[in-house]
Structure 1
Amino acid sequence: MNYFISPTLGVPPVLVTTLRELDFRIMLLQQGERNPIKSKVGLGLDFIRDSWYLFRQRRALQQAGVIVVNSYVALSVLLLHRLGLIRYRKLIYFGFFLHAPRYFPLFRMLFRMLLTEQDMIQVFSQHELMLYQQKLGLKKSRLVYAPLPYQPEKKPVATPLTGRLPKAYFFAGGYTNRDYAALIQAFAHRTEQLVICGSSLNHDLPAGKTYANITVFRDLPRKAFKELVAHAQACLLPVKDDTGAAGQSFVLEAMAFQKVVIATQTHVLTELIDQNQTGFLLADMRIELPLLLRQLQTGEFDLVQMGREAHNKLIRDYSDEAFAHALAQVIRPCLEKQTYQKQ
């Protein structure tokens, strides 16, 4: 029996559909969805709880075929396998990424201890294929790529924010790996309106209103966040570190609403954004963003047409169909009969 193991069903629906078509059994560690934005303590408690659940389910995994596992739960599965408590032919760690470079040494050690020859790691960008070879010491044959899928959104519904937003504004949102301090500095003495939606864990966001043209929200519901994207002039993505994770989901959501994204230039975002065609990539937000805003004021770029191009790129490269095709190419060879791994 082949299994897909995930903390919740909060994963791309096309992933579950594709795996079910390939005869995978779905094993959820918790019904419903979890808040993806948590403190380190909260994440640690989730890890312990999920590891205990897997330990209790170990008999069902004694003769597993291929296991596709989502999120940090992969580390629990790898550990139980190393301890000889579960057995499988092959494991695919789905959607692995690292936000901060300081964790590279830790994961290099963990993977050296836990990975076996048949284990694979799937990533959402071409850049990560080389990055994790260099930083984590992983073999090229262990790493596979499939695009991050995004289902185009329907028209957003009205929320309590409706009618409270500026008539025209730029929007920046998200939690991890964001450099909001640089963004606020770039807008500090300008007339354009900036709306930010972050988390209470974004410590570089001011607690009160510091500038008349900058509005800050924290921990808004999903529908309200979507409304902020849908009605923005353009979306902004200031990134701290050029690592494996760089706000890809935020970019894809903006593209779904035909919005241009102005982002910090990173290797991953270079794959998503075509410079001056579907968006803008800036080396330094503090210096370059005010200059770009002046260009946008004069109409040098057609944001509407660029937004259409961004949407076309989303449909072409990051649709459910593109993802399902890439994932099937990764998994089908793994389903061929193999001998069980030795711990």
Structure 2
Amino acid sequence: MKWHVLTPYLQSRHQAWITEGLTHHQFNVIPAAYRHDSLRARASGRDWLDFLGQSLHARREARPGDGFLTAFPPLATTTGAMKRLHLAKGPVVAWTFNLGTLRQGLQHWFASRALAAVDLFVVHSRHEIEVYSHWLGLPAGRFEYVPLGRTWRQPWLAEDESRPFVLAMGAANRDWPNFLRAVALLGYRTIVVAPPRALAGLTLPPCVELRSGLNREQCQSLSQQARVNVVPIENQATASGQVTLLEAMMFGRAVVATRCPGTLDLARDGEHALLVPPGDVQALAQGIEALWQDAGLRDRLGRQASAHVLAEFSEQAEARHLQRILDRFNA
């Protein structure tokens, strides 16, 4: 079966994705004719026109019976809307379906109608199956959990022992107020990587340095050099912080993370990371201090976390799940 692949992260038909190596299917990448800003809190009108244009491009290249494989929720929405308007007839699989915010009003009305045309939603948190099923008014059987995969990379930097620091990164749904309170209690050198708007209105303690505009390589370098990585999450409805957590675990670094939908499927408390209750400043500070003071604990959690990511969350494992799911549509 032929699938037209829509993602904002592929600007060329020849860029590699997890579809590489899959059998019994053909894949046609629909290049994104735009640059997606992954740090933007919500899509603009211009963004939506870009997403719609990509979906219409796929429709022009599709033949009857071809499928559409999206890897970004707005593209699932525009492709679903296209199908609802009878501009396309093939199956739509929404891979990596994750919404940072469950909006109401007109946006909910439009999303629920457009996304009703999606045949299968693939989520990376078991909790999200019930949440999205209820929000969209669709059967839970239309949603399937698949562990999030990451391209495996060996660490290339050691911890910065001369100037140790705590690190927290991210833009979406981070619990910055309680994180800043926790590190203020401890006074440890701390680096926060986030757009300035994410911390608007907050006062940074003297121990905290804000960095913005870093690329992925720079973020991964900091993750390796940090003594303690922290993933503080405020979102208890859908999954947030998964990529940041997985990459720190992949590099074998000790992590303190909020117990929430975005972390519970990735790490077991005390085995792969320290998970603390949401909104609990004292528990967060205690978790950071425990790892800061105990090199043996950091080493044990880091080694177990790295092995766990390699076994369960590799891109190869994710590709095997994709093969299994797409094969259903060949039957």
Q: Per the shorter chain, which TM-score range? A: 0.7 to 0.9
Aligned to 1:330: 325
Which residue of 242, 248, 268 maps to 1:248? 242
Confirm or deny that 1:314 pairs with 2:302. Answer: no
| Paired residue secondary structure (2:191) | strand
C-alpha offsets along residues 215-244 of structure 1, whole Å, 9 cap, x if unaligned? 111121222211110101121011111122
Aligned to 2:163: 167
| Paired residue secondary structure (1:272) | coil
- Report sequence identity in percent: 20
* Preserved CA contact (<8 Å) 1:3 1:66: yes
Which moved further from structure 2: 42-51 or 235-244? 42-51
**Cα distance 1:204–1:265, how it changes in 2: closer, same or farther (>3 A)?**
farther
TM-fit CA distance, 1:166 = 6.8
* Preserved CA contact (<8 Å) 1:105 1:136: no
TM-fit CA distance, 1:6 = 2.1
Aligned to 2:56: 55
**Cα distance 1:53–1:241, how it changes in 2: closer, same or farther (>3 A)?**
closer
* Preserved CA contact (<8 Å) 1:260 1:306: yes
Alignment TM-score, normalising by the size of structure 2: 0.87
Q: For the aligned residues, what is the CA RMSD?
A: 3.0
Aligned to 1:196: 192
TM-fit CA distance, 1:198 = 0.5
**Cα distance 1:176–1:293, how it changes in 2: closer, same or farther (>3 A)?**
closer
| Paired residue secondary structure (2:48) | helix
| Paired residue secondary structure (2:253) | coil
C-alpha offsets along residues 291-340 of structure 1, whole Å, 9 cap, x if unaligned? 2344345539611111000001101110122111111111101123xxxx
* Preserved CA contact (<8 Å) 1:122 1:143: yes
TM-fit CA distance, 1:80 = 1.6
Q: How does 1:132-211 map to 2 (within 5 A)?
A: 132-156=132-156, 167-204=163-200, 206=202, 210-211=204-205
| Paired residue secondary structure (1:240) | coil
* Preserved CA contact (<8 Å) 2:230 2:255: yes
TM-fit CA distance, 1:254 = 0.2
Which residue of 29, 34, 41 maps to 2:32? 29
TM-fit CA distance, 1:52 = 3.1
Give distance in 2, aligned partners of 1:232 and 1:285.
22
Give distance in 2, aligned partners of 1:199 and 1:20.
41
TM-fit CA distance, 1:136 = 2.7
Give distance in 1, aligned partners of 2:5 and 2:285.
47
Aligned to 1:73: 75
Aligned to 1:86: 88
Letter in 2 for 1:168: P
TM-fit CA distance, 1:38 = 2.0
Give distance in 1, aligned partners of 2:26 and 2:164.
49
- Count residues with an aligned counterpart: 326
Alignment TM-score, normalising by the size of structure 1: 0.84
* Preserved CA contact (<8 Å) 2:4 2:58: no
**Cα distance 1:116–1:155, how it changes in 2: closer, same or farther (>3 A)?**
closer
Aligned to 2:266: 272
C-alpha offsets along residues 168-206 of structure 1, whole Å, 9 cap, x if unaligned? 111000110111111111111323111110013313475
Letter in 1 for 2:179: L
* Preserved CA contact (<8 Å) 2:129 2:144: yes
| Paired residue secondary structure (1:202) | helix
Letter in 2 for 1:323: E
**Cα distance 1:229–1:278, how it changes in 2: closer, same or farther (>3 A)?**
same
TM-fit CA distance, 1:138 = 1.9
C-alpha offsets along residues 244-276 of structure 1, whole Å, 9 cap, x if unaligned? 221100011101110122111113311112111
Letter in 1 for 2:312: D
**Cα distance 1:124–1:312, how it changes in 2: closer, same or farther (>3 A)?**
same
**Cα distance 1:215–1:73, how it changes in 2: closer, same or farther (>3 A)?**
same
C-alpha offsets along residues 69-91 of structure 1, whole Å, 9 cap, x if unaligned? 12111211111222222232x11
Aligned to 1:6: 7
**Cα distance 1:18–1:108, how it changes in 2: closer, same or farther (>3 A)?**
farther
* Preserved CA contact (<8 Å) 1:3 1:64: no
TM-fit CA distance, 1:122 = 1.0
Aligned to 2:233: 239
Give distance in 2, aligned partners of 1:297 and 1:154.
23
Letter in 1 for 2:318: F
Give distance in 2, aligned partners of 1:200 and 1:294.
26
Q: How does 1:40-51 map to 2 (within 5 A)?
A: 40=42, 43-51=44-52
**Cα distance 1:127–1:301, how it changes in 2: closer, same or farther (>3 A)?**
farther
Letter in 1 for 2:267: I
